[in-house]
């Protein structure tokens, strides 16, 4: 296996193809994940689930991703990121039509678990491949890649909703989206090349045994906090606007929309800023903006202030995770896929458990206090920024 997955396969043209393919797989992954969101109300009604039952079933989705990631890191290192991306990417598409037609709770849980495993596999492999493309390019690219994932997250739900609005039945709409995504994965296969082999990197005894570098765990903890902040916006921004600021339920979703658009914008401008000022600066400034956003949301009793705070949180959090993944993929002594799997797994733990922890704190005190607590954790991330140099 070649030690140069892009340059050795055709020089500059191959490198451009690899960059294009990496952008596309991030976009495909974002679309696939967000396509599930409009299906949730249909599945809930069809299976007659209450909120608690649905919430329990949804744990299978994140749990599948989280459980698969450590194994996928080892697998991607052994077989190559390209193999994992292609295989898991195609298998991921199969889940969408099934989810649109599940007829029992057991079938729902099993399909969500399968979907989570495949999405987790794509997530680890595409980030590990992105680190290698970034290294071979000599440019900062990771934030832009994640920006396309954010675009996919915004457009996937919109695409399925548009197909449903045109009169298509849910299974038919899901099949159309799945076919489109599968064809995209097949089309980009020629732009992907095998990653570094085990003999081409300095791997210590611990990495041979599958144990990542200590710094990978520390970077993962920083991802945990950043993902917790994202989870807070996903699950609690609308609740905060409705219950604390008195915004109508029909308008409460604008908070998350502000956060999402700001995060996408921050990621598309992030590579240029990181190249100019450095990754440690990006983490410090990003954490500072997110802290200011959470404090503004929690302390100023105005809806406009809350929306501005959500924008600041989106801008601040936008580049923390891409920088962490890039730093994890560059650690010596551990294969990139293994380090990134560690950071990603801890990040998903934050995304899944963070909203629940916020709920516990909010129940004991208030949602504003819970947001302040998240701000305190982000302060620690900012203080640890030099770790990514």
**What does the domain layout of the chain look like in residue ranges?**
7-200, 207-388
Residue with tokens 């989570």: 116
**pLDDT confidence of residue 51:** 67
Q: Given this model, what pLDDT does residue 53 score?
A: 78
State the Cα angle at 257 between 251 and 261, rounded to 5°.
Answer: 155
The CATH code of domain 7-200 reads 1.20.1250.20
The confidence score (pLDDT) of residue 6 equals 47
Pick from 25, 29, 340: which is nearest to 191 by CA?
25
**pLDDT value, residue 292:** 97
Please state the pTM of the whole predicted model. Answer: 0.79
CATH of 207-388, one of 1.10.3720.10, 3.20.20.80, 1.20.1250.20, 3.40.50.300: 1.20.1250.20
Separation between Cα atoms, residue 159 and residue 295, nearest integer Å: 35
The CB density around residue 203, as the number of other CB atoms within 10 Å, is 16
User: For residue 11, is it left (φ>0), alpha (ψ between -120 and 50) or beta?
Assistant: left
Q: Which residues, 6+ apart, have CB-to-CB distance to 259 below 8 Å?
A: 233, 237, 310, 311, 313, 314
What's residue 210's pLDDT? 52
Q: Is 335:286 a contact under the CB 8 Å cutoff?
A: no
Distance CA 263, CA 330 (A): 24
pLDDT of amino acid 205: 40
Which residues have a Cβ under 8 Å from the Cβ of 211 and sit 6 or more positions away?
none
Return d(Cα 202, Cα 333) in angstroms, integer: 5
- Pure H helices in 138-253: 142-165, 170-187, 205-208, 214-243
- Distance, C-alpha 131 to centroid of its chain: 15
DSSP H or E segment with residue 93: helix 81-99
Whether 207-388 and 7-200 are alike in CATH topology: the answer is yes
Mean pLDDT by 10 residues, the chain (389 residues): 45 79 92 84 84 76 80 81 91 94 92 91 88 84 89 84 88 94 90 54 43 78 90 81 83 81 90 90 95 95 93 94 86 78 84 80 88 95 85
Nearest residue to 345 via CA among 64, 37, 29, 22: 64
336: left (phi over 0), alpha (psi -120 to 50) or beta: alpha
């Amino acid at each position: 296996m070649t030690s140069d997955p892009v340059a050795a396969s055709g020089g500059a043209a191959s490198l451009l193809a690899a960059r294009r393919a990496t952008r596309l797989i991030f976009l495909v992954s974002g679309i696939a994940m967000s396509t599930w969101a409009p299906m949730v109300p249909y599945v809930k009604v069809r299976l007659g689930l209450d909120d608690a039952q649905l919430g329990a079933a949804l744990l299978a989705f994140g749990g599948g991703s989280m459980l698969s990631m450590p194994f996928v890191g080892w697998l991607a290192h052994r077989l190559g990121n390209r193999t994992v991306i292609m295989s898991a990417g195609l298998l991921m598409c199969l889940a969408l039509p099934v989810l649109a037609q599940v007829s029992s709770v057991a079938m729902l849980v099993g399909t969500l678990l399968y979907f989570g495993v495949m999405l987790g596999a794509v997530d680890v492999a595409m980030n590990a491949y992105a680190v290698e493309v970034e290294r071979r390019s000599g440019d900062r690219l990771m934030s832009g890649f994640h920006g396309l994932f954010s675009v996919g997250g915004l457009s996937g739900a919109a695409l399925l909703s548009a197909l449903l609005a045109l009169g298509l039945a849910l299974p038919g709409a899901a099949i159309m989206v799945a076919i489109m995504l599968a064809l995209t994965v097949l089309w980009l296969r020629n732009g992907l090349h095998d990653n570094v082999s085990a003999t081409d990197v300095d791997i210590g005894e611990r990495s041979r045994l599958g144990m990542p570098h200590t710094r990978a765990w520390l970077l993962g903890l920083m991802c945990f906090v950043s993902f917790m902040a994202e989870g807070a916006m996903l699950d609690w921004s609308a609740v905060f606007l409705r219950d604390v600021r008195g915004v109508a339920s029909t308008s409460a979703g604008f908070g998350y929309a502000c956060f999402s658009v700001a995060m996408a914008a921050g990621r598309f401008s992030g590579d240029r800023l990181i190249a100019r000022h450095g990754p440690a600066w990006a983490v410090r400034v990003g954490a500072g903006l997110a802290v200011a956003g959470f404090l503004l949301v929690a302390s100023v009793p105005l809806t406009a202030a809350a929306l501005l705070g959500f924008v600041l949180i989106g801008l601040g959090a936008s580049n923390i995770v891409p920088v962490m993944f890039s730093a994890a993929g560059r650690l010596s002594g551990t294969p990139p896929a293994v380090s990134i799997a560690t950071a990603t797994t801890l990040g998903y733990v934050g995304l899944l458990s963070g909203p629940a922890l916020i709920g516990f704190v909010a129940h004991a005190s208030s949602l504003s206090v819970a947001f302040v607590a998240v701000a305190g954790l982000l302060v620690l991330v900012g203080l640890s920024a030099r770790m990514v140099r």
